[in-house]
Amino acid sequence: MSRWLALKWKARHHAATLVGDTRSYFGLLYGCVLAVWVAYVSHRLTHVPPGGFCADAPPNWLSTMGENVSALPVEVEFGGRLRFMSIWTTDATHWADRNVRGVESVFFHHPNASLTIYSNKLPASAVGAIASLGFDVRVLPYNLTQLLHGTPAAPWLGKLSRWEQGPYFYTHVTDVIRLALLFRDGGVYVDTDVVLVRPFRIAAAAVVAAAELEERQERQKRRGARDGAQPVRAWRDARAAADVADERNASAGAAREPLPLAPHSLGAEAHTVSDTPIVNGAIMVFARGSPFLWGAMREFAGTYRDFEWGWNGPELLTRVRRRCPHNVSVLGEERFYPFHWEEVALYSTAGHEAANEAMWRVIEQRSYAAHLWNKKSAELPLHADSVYARLMRAFRVLPDGVAAGKAGGTHAAAEARAHQLVADGIAAGAVL
Ligand SMILES: *[C@@H]1O[C@H](CO)[C@@H](O)[C@H](O)[C@H]1NC(C)=O
Ligand SMILES: *[C@@H]1O[C@H](CO)[C@@H](O)[C@H](O)[C@H]1NC(C)=O
Ligand SMILES: *[C@@H]1O[C@H](CO)[C@@H](O)[C@H](O)[C@H]1NC(C)=O
Ligand SMILES: *[C@@H]1O[C@H](CO)[C@@H](O)[C@H](O)[C@H]1NC(C)=O
Ligand SMILES: *[C@@H]1O[C@H](CO)[C@@H](O)[C@H](O)[C@H]1NC(C)=O
């Protein structure tokens, strides 16, 4: 019986195939092509090299000087003169005083550093006043094609004319070229709306880990019985305020070195409820040739979305960190992002004295830098006692009244001025 049914089905099927209208053949063909395409695309997107997502960074790469280099010891890579870089892709008319303050803060803390602002729009005069003091700051043009050439982000260039139509194209250009530049040159990347609060001391990963452990133990000891579940933004509640007071007491008298930074550091801008860091890329410290950056460039080309602002930037770094947790350190929020972008009004406008005072103490004690979140804060008026206004005043190398483009003073005079400010206690927290 069942054999008879099977035969009947076979016959009918055979007939159908023979009669077979050409449409079903096309359907089949189409299906096959689609399947192959889906398999190809998903392979491209999910391809993970043997050893892990970030494991295939080349052991040699061409440096800016044109020679092959491989990983250098941290003392060589970051010793002596620290290399800073920034990117400016929008119109020069948006370059404002606060961007100059950011540049000043780099040299306030690192008079011997170099800072290169990669921009095809900004004139050299944007940093002319600072350069004329003798600080090593320059604006250099970039070529997107050349920068991404040979990196896993290069396939993205294939549809460049389409991506250029996207609403966030220039933001996404800064997202990807900071990865390529840091991979090639190493150093510290800072957005143009970042103010440095203390000198960046960069040390080998093992040194950093030991220092962190020591700090954690010390803090736990001081915290004593005040334990319990960690709140999501621990350092901001009352207990964290007590911690700050404790740290101040502990460090009173003895100047205290800030915790060193690992040569592969990002900062968390917030944490999810399950305590997973949400990473931001406004400040990035990396030795050249970082496998994390290589993986991030692959992720950029493989998953690019032209209509999503954060997908290719902070969200990308957050995704790649989950896949390469051993090739990057994520610092607590207070180190680079002491206040969140949702709080910019609180820390710039009048009427919140206590909150501003408390935040300033956190910044003095525990931050390396503060991101101004310019996109959210640029239009806000600054109250004189606000955290924002203080960040604008505290780390200057230009004399008052000197705006971008006008020169005055000397390198030595600016350095003396910086030291005077520290001596005056304006930046006292920054040197604890
Ligand atoms: C750099 O190294 C690669 C192999 O990793 C080699 O093919 C290339 O010729 C080298 N270039 C220079 C300038 O030494
Ligand atoms: C900067 O460099 C000069 C000379 O190279 C040196 O004397 C000075 O100590 C350096 N300053 C810092 C802060 O490293
Ligand atoms: C960038 O570099 C590519 C490749 O070297 C070159 O074809 C292109 O003309 C350059 N673009 C600009 C704007 O210079
Ligand atoms: C820290 O110092 C302040 C006064 O300077 C004092 O009131 C407070 O009790 C001290 N805290 C600890 C934990 O020692
Ligand atoms: C990257 O992480 C892997 C482990 O996932 C580790 O074996 C490797 O040494 C790391 N490399 C660097 C340069 O951090």
pLDDT at 223 over 70: no
Q: What residues pair up with 195 in beta bridges, in sequence order?
A: 370
Domain boundaries, the chain: 61-204+260-431
More confident residue, 8 or 27: 27
Whole-angstrom distance, CA of residue 327 vs CA of residue 290 = 8
Instruction: Write down the pTM of the prediction.
Output: 0.77
pLDDT at 251: 46
Write the pLDDT tens digit of every residue in 103-126: 999 999 999 999 999 999 999 999
User: Strands 61-62 and 369-371, how do they pair?
Assistant: unpaired
Is the domain defined by 61-204+260-431 classed in CATH 3.90.550? yes
Please, are residues 337 and 367 in contact by the beta-carbon 8 Å criterion? Answer: no
pLDDT at 422: 41
Q: Which of 22-36, 125-139, 184-198, 394-408 has the lowest mean pLDDT?
A: 394-408
Write the pLDDT tens digit of every residue in 54-85: 888 887 776 655 667 777 778 778 877 899 99
Percentage of the chain modeled with pLDDT above 90 = 49
Atom number in ligand 5 closest to CA 51: 5
Write the pLDDT tens digit of every residue in 282-327: 999 999 889 999 999 999 999 999 999 999 999 999 999 999 999 9
Which of 249, 251, 361, 365 most suits a substitution to test ligand 4, by most atoms within 8 Å of the C-beta? 249
Q: Which of 134-148, 202-216, 319-333, 364-378 has the lowest mean pLDDT?
A: 202-216
More confident residue, 192 or 245: 192
pLDDT at 305: 96
pLDDT at 99 over 90: yes
Q: Which ligand is nearest to the CA of 48?
A: 5
Place of tokens 């496998």: 291
Burial of 165 (0-12, 13-18, 19+ CB in 10 A): exposed
Whole-angstrom distance, CA of residue 297 vs CA of residue 147 = 12
Q: Give every CB contact of residue 136 below 8 A, 6+ residues apart in sequence.
A: 81, 112, 113, 114, 115
pLDDT at 4: 61
pLDDT at 426: 35
DSSP letter at 87 equals: E
pLDDT at 281 over 60: yes
Mean pLDDT, the chain, as a whole number?
81
Question: Is ligand 1 within 6 A of the CB of residue 251?
Answer: no
pLDDT at 233: 47
Binned at pLDDT 50, 70 and 90, residue 6 comes out as low
Write the pLDDT tens digit of every residue in 174-184: 999 999 999 98
Crossing angle between the packed helical segments 22-46 and 291-303, to the nearest 10 degrees: 160
Distance 62 CA to ligand 1 centre (A): 8
Write the pLDDT tens digit of every residue in 357-371: 999 988 888 899 999
Q: Report the sign of the C-alpha dihedral through residues 414, 371, 266, 255, in that order.
A: positive
pLDDT at 410 over 70: no
Distance 209 CA to ligand 2 centre (A): 28
Nearest to 265 by CA among 304, 316, 209, 194: 209
Question: Is ligand 3 within 6 A of the CB of residue 274?
Answer: no
Question: Is ligand 3 within 6 A of the CB of residue 145?
Answer: yes
pLDDT at 353 over 80: yes
pLDDT at 243: 53
